Amino acid sequence: MGCFCSIQQYPKLIHSQRTEVASMEKSEWTTEDVKIMDTLPYYWGEMSDEEAETRLLFHQTGMFLLRSCPMNTKSWRYDSRTYIISMKRFEDVVSLKLLNEGRLYFLGEETHHPRFQSIDKLVSYYTNLPSTPRMLQVPLLKRVCSLQELCSFVIKRSFNAQEISKLRLPNLVKEQLCT
């Protein structure tokens, strides 16, 4: 079975692959949050730890997916309204709790972790970290994306907001890429 950890403990997983950490922090997810999740091509809906491990285990290190806990989950780790990013890490699958604070999203329960205005920005940040190997590398997509979605993903992954504003694109497109 995969392991559950906080971001702060993530580097330790390189040497210790079977760490389990209780996360007592709760997030309040709105109907709007749930609708946004459903639009993300790497959001798989309700999925158990075991199913996430099965889907990711034979993929490359850094492959990830976003999921929610099954509604019947009664676990000390999370409740049924918990969203999780599960990722392949060497020979194991690691799960990180996705939290929100108002309209800001972050991973783990540490207060110093960066907050983001959207889940896409959070994913973009962690896929573009300069460290090697990067924590999140390639999303495991649940559905085939449109060319527009794929282009947006690549642009967001390749450029920061300031660089996007300098691209020769219509202003409306720039605004959509920066949100």
The domain that contains 178 carries what CATH number? Answer: 1.10.750
The set of residues, in sequence order, having a beta carbon less than 8 Å from that of 96 and lying 6+ positions away, is 4, 5, 6, 7, 10, 84, 85, 86, 87, 107, 108
84 lies in the same domain as 131? yes
Residue (of 135, 110, 102) closest to 6 by Cα position: 110
- Helix, strand or coil, per DSSP, at residue 64: strand
The set of residues, in sequence order, having a beta carbon less than 8 Å from that of 82 and lying 6+ positions away, is 27, 68, 69, 73, 97, 98
100 lies in the same domain as 149? no
pLDDT at 125: 85
- pLDDT higher for 1 or 63? 63
pLDDT digits (tens, 9 = 90+) for 19-41: 333 333 456 777 777 788 888 88
pLDDT at 133: 61
Domain count, the chain: 2
Sign of CA dihedral 128, 129, 131, 133: negative
135 lies in the same domain as 150? no
- pLDDT higher for 151 or 144? 151
45 lies in the same domain as 128? yes
Q: Which residue has the tokens 């690549």?
A: 154
94 lies in the same domain as 170? no
pLDDT, mean of residues 125-140: 79
Global pTM reads: 0.66
Residue (of 94, 77, 80) closest to 46 by Cα position: 80
Asked if 80 and 72 count as a contact pair (C-beta separation under 8 A), the reply is yes
Residue (of 129, 42, 120, 25) closest to 86 by Cα position: 42
37 lies in the same domain as 72? yes
94 lies in the same domain as 153? no
Tokens of 137: 């590398």
Selection from 55-69, 89-103, 115-129 with the highest mean pLDDT: 55-69
136 lies in the same domain as 157? no
- Helix, strand or coil, per DSSP, at residue 107: strand
55 lies in the same domain as 67? yes
Domain that holds residue 114: 3-144
124 lies in the same domain as 177? no
pLDDT at 98: 87
106 lies in the same domain as 152? no
Chain mean pLDDT for the chain: 76
pLDDT digits (tens, 9 = 90+) for 109-123: 666 788 988 888 888
